[in-house]
Structure 1
């Protein structure tokens, strides 16, 4: 994996602030990378019209494309449906996250492909060509924020917004070897963002580096938030991420379902981390299966309610994998859903007390069996293996049920050269700590930008 190519958000900010380049020059470079890569990786739904950067704003000169659940003003979110088929396919004001990024100076490049209605842990969507994993065309691309992960890994943009309901930011980030960040419940304003299961949905960030994710996350926060204030300083975010800490870590990386080469890489990571003065202890994930079941109950019931119109009036047009998420919710007893909702706070309190009262982060595998071949997680393939599909979301959905923040990031590669990622989970309000931990321990991310050689030369020129 490599992070060569487009300069980081922090580097672009410094270059523009010092006059080494202009916001217009930076945007021209990013637009070229976006246009060239879009055709190669099949991850773009629609390109935005040209727009000028907001002058003297923290993210002026930074361009991003986002998952197609964010209303952009002139175009409503497509939600992975055929053009014009989404139930809310009317023009609407920009969603709160896009409006916030715009106020902070960011430029919108366009909408990215996704699983239909954000249903599914892979990029499987019969309405669009399957996006290609930039690291390995035979490898799976996770979902549902598939286009976001592909665009970022391929260097089309440094960061992208997605949504995470049961791992939909962290899973595709892990399959593509980039950073996936899911803040805690309610931290980011979801106004105007298309929903799947409202009490589980979280706006998240896919990024080339933890630093990039931190800059975008800070831009989404209210003005009075400490990280939002630090964004106003040119080096504020970087200083916070790099500040020396003695980490207290609870590790549940040693899970029984790990593939051997993944287990070896996770073990090597533990050795490296403990040698850097990390206070480390083992943790046991008691109750994971029950938590996962509760998360699935909430997901199915709320998804069925959210998209009841499509189920009633356009069922035949929905992909089978979408139907498998929406239809079970109509059969779940109301008492099960009510009990799952009522039990949530108790489960969260017990989980935090048991795992995070004496630790800053809890570590879990992200993909215990590594990144699978695309055909083994595509339900219409004769090579489909349901065990591989289950492994993609095994350690993710329960985090949404608990409403906790989580960060996935690569730590190396497996025997096939595909990324191995871990997931760091924090207590409520621990977003800044998670980002700092990932900044210290993440491996380089993504594939070289496309086309790598030309963009590396031009990117270098921007910084000198």
Structure 2
């Protein structure tokens, strides 16, 4: 990972609170880093005009850029499409999330690259040059929140909002060695965010650290929420995350499809972490295959409905990967979709009872085969390997279907020096506990996090 010139959100807040930096000095630092790295990493699609932040708000002096799926009020989300191809491009109201961040003092740096219409697990998008992975230019960048992960990993900003429908926050975060946080459905207001599959879509955060992600998540919560109240002081979030908890952990890290060097790194993490938990037990992961199938049914049908106009009137302009997600939805029997929707609550209750009734978190691999080469997951490349592409999203989509909060973070590197990440899941509504687990267990787990 590139060396971060920008201090953490907590550090910036402390510096501003104690007078070591002014808000303008902090913003100048972040704007300079963003402008300097944008062209190098090919992750920025539009630079925002500088605006005056709300004075004396919790995030005054903090600047972020976000996936180009959020309407800004001045510009409709580009959604990874060519300029001018989106109807109503200047009329959409600003998204609720961006409005909330602005009210909390945060400044907006610009829009970041993404897969077309948020379709796909990689940065592949024929309309734009693919962003480069800051850790290794030959390595893949996950999707669809590709630009957000690259910008954060490259040190262009400390955090970025993305969206996660089947892993689109956690996958790119894992390929770039940063934190990916997908809260439960509705935990972050999605009004003004371009949809893909509405019952799966979740606004999430990609960040340099769990603390950074928690600051952004807290700023997006209602004022009365306990985590939001912790924003009142610069130390409040990290104090809440660091509070001692008697952790009960269910581990399903030992999966049969792990590459050997990934398995070795996950085993080392598990060996270190077990001593810090009150209870740590290995469990068998149940229901992954049927849950993944149900998630795919919902994804294809809802994506087909969302993008019906484009499929009918501009099909030839759609990327092949977009077509591969949208078009199958028209062939899915209505009864399959109805069953997938009606069975969801029962599957969620059964999964939580089996895996989280006696545990605060469930641990899974994020990328079981590690971070692949970009050519191995680029469908038009000579070295394309479908198995590598499938491995990117194998452990992610079911969490969206079940509505479980999920957090991915690196725990070390593989034999090629690329990040190895785990994914932690929690029961519905336990986002604060999940962030606390990540903060305590990721803080010293990997040199990639700083």
Same fold (TM over 0.5): yes
How far 1:222 moved relative to its partner? 1.0
Q: Which residue of 2 aligns with 1:366?
A: 366
Preserved CA contact (<8 Å) 1:131 1:146: yes
Please give the secondary structure, in 1, of the residue aligned with 2:438: helix
- Measure, in 2, the Cα distance between the counterparts of 1:365 and 1:373: 19
- Measure, in 1, the Cα distance between the counterparts of 2:422 and 2:34: 28
Q: How do 1:382-397 and structure 2 match up within 5 A?
A: 382-397=382-397
Preserved CA contact (<8 Å) 1:376 1:383: yes
Q: How do 1:392-403 and structure 2 match up within 5 A?
A: 392-403=392-403
Q: Which residue of 1 aligns with 2:193?
A: 193
How far 1:444 moved relative to its partner? 4.6
Q: Which residue of 2 aligns with 1:338?
A: 338
Q: Which residue of 2 aligns with 1:440?
A: 440
- Measure, in 1, the Cα distance between the counterparts of 2:45 and 2:90: 17
Q: Which residue of 1 aligns with 2:128?
A: 128
Preserved CA contact (<8 Å) 2:250 2:283: yes
Indicate yes or no: 2:227 matched with 1:208.
no
How far 1:283 moved relative to its partner? 1.5
Q: Which residue of 2 aligns with 1:160?
A: 160
Preserved CA contact (<8 Å) 2:74 2:90: no
- Measure, in 2, the Cα distance between the counterparts of 1:91 and 1:101: 21
Preserved CA contact (<8 Å) 2:248 2:277: no
What's the CA shift string for 1:212-248, capped at 9, x where partnerless? 0000000011111111111122211110111112210
What's the CA shift string for 1:99-144, capped at 9, x where partnerless? 0000000000000000000000000000000000000000000000
What's the CA shift string for 1:167-214, capped at 9, x where partnerless? 000000000000000000111110100000000000000000000000
Please give the secondary structure, in 1, of the residue aligned with 2:422: strand
Preserved CA contact (<8 Å) 1:153 1:445: no
How far 1:91 moved relative to its partner? 2.3
How far 1:53 moved relative to its partner? 1.7
Preserved CA contact (<8 Å) 2:2 2:154: no
- Please give the root-mean-square deviation of Cα atoms over the aligned residues, in Å: 1.2
Preserved CA contact (<8 Å) 2:209 2:449: no
Q: How do 1:221-370 and structure 2 match up within 5 A?
A: 221-370=221-370
Q: Which residue of 1 aligns with 2:404?
A: 404
Q: Which residue of 2 aligns with 1:169?
A: 169
- Measure, in 2, the Cα distance between the counterparts of 1:266 and 1:140: 21
Preserved CA contact (<8 Å) 1:2 1:446: no
Preserved CA contact (<8 Å) 1:176 1:446: no
Indicate yes or no: 2:70 matched with 1:50.
no
- Measure, in 2, the Cα distance between the counterparts of 1:359 and 1:18: 40
- Measure, in 2, the Cα distance between the counterparts of 1:413 and 1:444: 8
- Measure, in 2, the Cα distance between the counterparts of 1:143 and 1:150: 10
Q: Which runs of 4+ in 1 moved over 6 A?
A: none
How far 1:445 moved relative to its partner? 6.4
- Measure, in 1, the Cα distance between the counterparts of 2:205 and 2:448: 15
What's the CA shift string for 1:3-23, capped at 9, x where partnerless? 642100000000001111100
**Bigger mean CA deviation after superposition, 79-88 or 129-138:** 79-88
Indicate yes or no: 2:74 matched with 1:81.
no
- Measure, in 1, the Cα distance between the counterparts of 2:152 and 2:141: 12
Please give the secondary structure, in 2, of the residue aligned with 1:286: coil
Indicate yes or no: 2:33 matched with 1:37.
no
Q: Which residue of 2 aligns with 1:63?
A: 63
What's the CA shift string for 1:235-277, capped at 9, x where partnerless? 1111011111221000000000000000000000110001224
Q: Which residue of 2 aligns with 1:461?
A: none
Preserved CA contact (<8 Å) 1:356 1:362: yes
**Bigger mean CA deviation after superposition, 239-248 or 162-171:** 239-248
What's the CA shift string for 1:24-80, capped at 9, x where partnerless? 000000000000100100000000001112110000000000000000111110000
Please give the secondary structure, in 2, of the residue aligned with 1:263: helix
- Measure, in 2, the Cα distance between the counterparts of 1:232 and 1:445: 30
- Measure, in 2, the Cα distance between the counterparts of 1:316 and 1:129: 19
- Measure, in 1, the Cα distance between the counterparts of 2:229 and 2:332: 45
Preserved CA contact (<8 Å) 2:5 2:33: no
Change (3 A) 1:204 1:33: same
Unmatched segments (≥5 aa) in structure 1: 449-464
- Measure, in 2, the Cα distance between the counterparts of 1:105 and 1:444: 31
